[in-house]
Structures are given as structure tokens and as C-alpha cells.
Amino acid sequence: MAGLYWKVKTYLEDNGKTKAEIGLDGNVKLRNDGAGEYIHTWNVDGLAKPSDSQLTSADTQATKDYNNNRIRKTRKSSYGDIGEQLDLLYKDMLADKGDKTGEWFKKVKAVKDANAKE
């Protein structure tokens, strides 16, 4: 189950508001008073603050987006430094392995296989 941030993000995107900012400097601000998260500030032109039922209906997509975001972060750290990746590609090209037999491809595939998106 996704948190409020991801539900609000999904609600905004579903309503064409991809430029809306959620956060301290954004036009949507979330708070947690100890009893749970809630929308503290809503200043989105042309779109009403979502109801609880609208946020609940966004949960499936929000959870998928949240999970895929975590997977992207894991993949990024697992791929390693871009310089090392380019070095692997260079070595593969020198060895005429610029295809699925190269070390770079094998490493990237292993990371993607271990961290599949939904």
C-alpha cells in the first residue's frame, strides 16, 4: 500500500497536473501530526483537493509507482559508476562483443532480472 505522497502524485497525474509539486516548496504540502499523514496545503489550479475515496481509488497505481521507483533506485546503485559501465562497453567493443555476449550486457541483464519492475 502506497503512502499519501504516492496517492496524491497519482491523483495529480491522472488529472493532467504533471507540473504540480508535492513537498516543502510545492503547491501541495503534506503533514503528519502523529495520527497519520494528511494534506495540509492544496493550491492546484483547476483541480479540487482529492477526497478520501479518490485517494483510495488511486492506491493500486500509486503502489505500483512506489514499488517501481524503489526498483529504479536499486537498479541505479547496482549498475555502478557510469565510467565503469563505459569501460565495460569499450572492452566489449574491442573484443567484438557489442551484443548479448558482452560483459556489460550480462551485468545489466543480471541487475534487471534481479530487480524486475511490476
Q: Where do the structural domains in the chain lie, given as residue ranges?
A: 1-77, 80-118
Cross-strand bridge partners of residue 32: 37
SS3 32: strand
Going residue by residue through the chain, which has 118 residues, state the pLDDT in tens, using 9 for 90 and above. 789 999 999 999 999 998 888 887 789 999 999 999 999 999 999 999 999 999 999 999 999 999 999 999 999 999 999 999 999 999 999 999 999 999 999 999 999 999 999 8
From the list 64, 40, 39, 50, the residue with the least C-alpha distance to 12 is 50
* Helix (H), strand (E) at residue 84: helix 82-94
How far apart (Å, rounded) are the C-alpha atoms in residues 105 and 103? 5
From the list 39, 49, 37, the residue with the least C-alpha distance to 11 is 49
Q: Is the dihedral of CA 50, 53, 54, 60 positive or negative?
A: positive
The CATH code belonging to domain 1-77 is: 3.30.56.60
SS3 21: coil
pTM of the model: 0.76
Q: What pLDDT does residue 24 have?
A: 76
